[in-house]
Amino acid sequence: MRVLVIGAAGMIGRKLCAALARDGALGGRPIESAHFVDLVAPAPLPAPFPAQCEALDLCAEGASERLIAERPDVVFLLAAVVSGEAERDFDKGYAINLDATRRLFEAIRHEREASGGAYVPRLVFASSIAVFGVPFPETIGDDFHLTPLTSYGTQKAVCELLLADYSRRGIFEGVGLRLPTICVRPGKPNTAVSGFFSSIIREPLEGREAILPAPDTVRHWFASPRAAVGFFLHAAVLDVKRLAGRPNLTLPGVSATVAEQIEALRRSAGDGAVRLIRHEPDAKVREMIAGWPTRFDARRATALGFAAEADFDEIIRVYLEDDHVAAVA
C-alpha cells in the first residue's frame, strides 16, 4: 500500500511518519512506499520502504492533483493554519484550511473518475474540538451541534461536512478526527494560548520554570501525542461501514483541571517540580479559555476502538517515555 502524509513536518505529523516507518505496515498490509510532504521538507527518517520527503505548498497550482496522481491508498491530512493565525489572517485561513482541503477532495474525485471508479482511497482528516463553541453542556455528547467561535473552527467544521458528503458519494472513505488538545507537547513553549497546558508539565520535568496564566480550576480535554498518532493509525484501517454515514468523530480523551494536572506532576516528579510553576494570572487568557469545552462523552469513537489515556498521570508517563529530554537523549 502507498501512503501520503500531508503536514508531515508538524509535531503530530513527524510522530505519525515515524510510527509508519517503525511498523512498515498498516492494518497488516505492508507499506510499499510513502510520500511525506509539508511546507518545509520533513526530515528524512529510516524506513523499510522508500519514503519521499518533499517541501510542497498545498495551495500551489496543481499540487493536490500531482499528489493524488500517485494514487495513494491512504491519505493523512494534517496540514492547517493554526487557530490564532487563521483568526488574524482571514484570507490565508480560508485558503489553506478550506480551499486547499476542498481541492484535495476534488483531486480525488477526478482521479476516481479517471480510474473508472476503481480508485477510492482512505482519507483521514485532522479536525479539532474547536468546532464546538459555548454555550454547551458540561459534558458534550456525540450529537451536539457545531457552533465554532473562530474561523479556524468554522473551516474545520466545513471540511467535516464536505468529508461526509464526499464519503457518502463513495468518492473516498473519509474519517474526520476531532482531536483533543494534545498534551504534553514536546519542544519549546509555543505562542498558542493552549500552550501552557503543556508547558506547566514539560518545563518543570525538564527542570525549567513555567508560567501558568489561568486559574487552576480550569478544566479541559486532553490526549497525548502518542494517543493522537494512535487515532490516525486506527482511522486508517477502521471498517468504515461501522461509521454508518457519520464519519466525523469526537475522540476520547482525559478531562482534567489544571489543579489535577499539577497534582499528577507532583506524583510524578515531586514538590520541587511543582514549585517551578509560577502563577501569573492573565485576564485575557482566562476569558478565552472560558469558551473552551471541558469534557466529552466520546461514546461512538470509544465503541469504534479509539483509545486515549486513562488519566493525566498516564499522559505524563507517555511524555517521559517518548519525549523527555533525558529519555530521548
**Which are the catalytic amino acids?**
152
Question: Is residue 168 close enough to count as binding a second copy by CB under 8 A?
Answer: yes
- Kindly calculate the radius of gyration of the chain based on its CA atoms and give it in whole angstroms: 20
Instruction: Pick from 11, 149, 288, 304 the residue near a second copy by CB under 8 A.
Output: 149
Instruction: Pick from 68, 77, 158, 289 the residue near a second copy by CB under 8 A.
Output: 158
Nearer to a second copy, 6 or 157 (CB): 157
Kindly identify the residues of this chain, within the stretch 205-224, that bind a second copy according to CB under 8 A.
Answer: none
- Only one residue has cell 497534582, namely 263
- DSSP state, 140? B
Question: Is residue 83 close enough to count as binding a second copy by CB under 8 A?
Answer: no
H or E stretch including 78?
none
φ/ψ of 117, rounded to 5, equals 90, 0
Question: Is residue 66 close enough to count as binding a second copy by CB under 8 A?
Answer: no
Question: Is residue 161 close enough to count as binding a second copy by CB under 8 A?
Answer: yes
Instruction: Pick from 148, 176, 253, 293 the residue near a second copy by CB under 8 A.
Output: 148
Nearer to a second copy, 35 or 178 (CB): 178
| Minimum distance from residue 160 beta carbon to a second copy (Å) | 10
Rounded Cα distance between 18 and 39, Å, is 18
Sheet holding 173-179, edge to edge: 51-55, 33-38, 2-6, 74-77, 122-128, 173-179, 248-250
Chain centroid to CA 284 = 25
Question: Is residue 41 close enough to count as binding a second copy by CB under 8 A?
Answer: no
| Minimum distance from residue 116 beta carbon to a second copy (Å) | 17
Are the C-beta atoms of residues 80 and 127 closer than 8 Å to each other? Answer: no
Question: Is residue 176 close enough to count as binding a second copy by CB under 8 A?
Answer: no
Instruction: Pick from 144, 260, 282, 314 the residue near a second copy by CB under 8 A.
Output: 144
Closest residue by Cα to residue 4 from 57, 53, 59: 53
Residues with Cβ within 8 Å of residue 107, at least 6 apart in sequence: 64, 65, 67, 68
Question: Is residue 288 close enough to count as binding a second copy by CB under 8 A?
Answer: no
Rounded Cα distance between 152 and 91, Å, is 12
Instruction: Pick from 246, 278, 286, 299 the residue near a second copy by CB under 8 A.
Output: 246
Nearer to a second copy, 42 or 133 (CB): 133
Instruction: Pick from 21, 146, 236, 238 the residue near a second copy by CB under 8 A.
Output: 146
Instruction: Pick from 44, 50, 69, 90 the residue near a second copy by CB under 8 A.
Output: 90
Where helices occur in 170-211 by DSSP H, the ranges are 195-205
User: Could you count the other beta carbons within 10 Å of the beta carbon of residue 279?
Assistant: 11
291, amino acid identity: G
For the chain, the residue count is: 329
Question: Is residue 49 close enough to count as binding a second copy by CB under 8 A?
Answer: no
Question: Is residue 143 close enough to count as binding a second copy by CB under 8 A?
Answer: yes
Closest residue by Cα to residue 132 from 143, 144, 150, 148: 148
Question: Is residue 157 close enough to count as binding a second copy by CB under 8 A?
Answer: yes
Binding site for a second copy (CB under 8 A): 90, 109, 133, 136, 143-149, 151, 154, 157-158, 161-162, 164-165, 168-169, 245-246
